[in-house]
Every structure is written in C-alpha cells, then in structure tokens.
Copies of this chain bind each other. A is one copy, B any other.
Amino acid sequence: MLKSKVDLERAANVLKLLGDKTRLTIIAILKQRECCVCEILEVFDMSQPSISQHLRKLKDAGMVKEERRGQWIYYSLNQQSELYGIIEDILEHVPEQTDKIKLIEKANPTLQCGC
C-alpha cells in the first residue's frame, strides 16, 4: 500500500518529538484512549508543568488535539493530521500501554465523589 508522504524536515520534527520516552508513551497511551492531563500525570513520576509542556509540543506539531470538558482538558490523537499515518505506523512497533491504562483507571483521578 502507498503511504502518505511527509516533507523530510517535517518528518524529522515528528520523529524528534516522538524520540522522547515520555512523549512516545503519551502518544502510545492516547492511541488506546483519550486522556485528560491529570490522568496522564498518574503514569509519570514527573511534575504537572512538565507534562503540560510535553502536551503543548505535541499539540503545536498537530499530533494531538485538546478538548475542554468542564474542568478537564482531554487530549487525543489528531486523526485529521497528515502526520497520523506515520504516527500509526510507528506505534505498530511499540508495545501496547495497557499497563499504563490500567494504572489510570485504578487511580481514576477524575472521580469527583464516591457515590
């Protein structure tokens, strides 16, 4: 099958962004499920601003999109991006992040009350 080509410079930028363990993990998680920032935070041993800054880079590159829902901002892969093809293909070589998803669901940080 013929793949969607991306300008070499743009491709290098995407690869550089994915060439960071934290961001690659975030993208792999978002492939499985949209998440809000506080959910992503559960997965990493890292400050909230650090995660916010990673998400901003991914958003600036067009790789993810955000959607505010009340108090929370949900991030998801931007399937409309011309980069989605290469991202999908890369993720096929990366292990599923099911353990991380489980961590998020166990911590359930968006839970508002116990009822």
Q: Which residue of B lies closest to A15 (CB)?
A: B19
Q: Which residue of B lies closest to A87 (CB)?
A: B93
Interface string of A9-28 (1 = CB under 8 A from B): 10111111111110011001
Whether A3 sits at the interface, judged by CB under 8 Å, is yes
Bound together, the chains give a CA A85 to CA B92 distance in angstroms of 10
The contact size tier of chain A is 20 to 34
B21, A18: Cβ atoms under 8 Å? no
CB proximity of A78 to chain B, nearest CB, Å: 16
Interface string of A86-106 (1 = CB under 8 A from B): 100110111100000000000
Interface residue ranges, A against B (CB under 8 Å)? 3-9, 11-21, 24-25, 28, 85-86, 89-90, 92-95
Lowest 9 CB-CB distances: which A-B pairs, in order? A16-B19, A15-B19, A86-B93, A3-B92, A19-B19, A15-B18, A12-B21, A89-B89, A12-B24
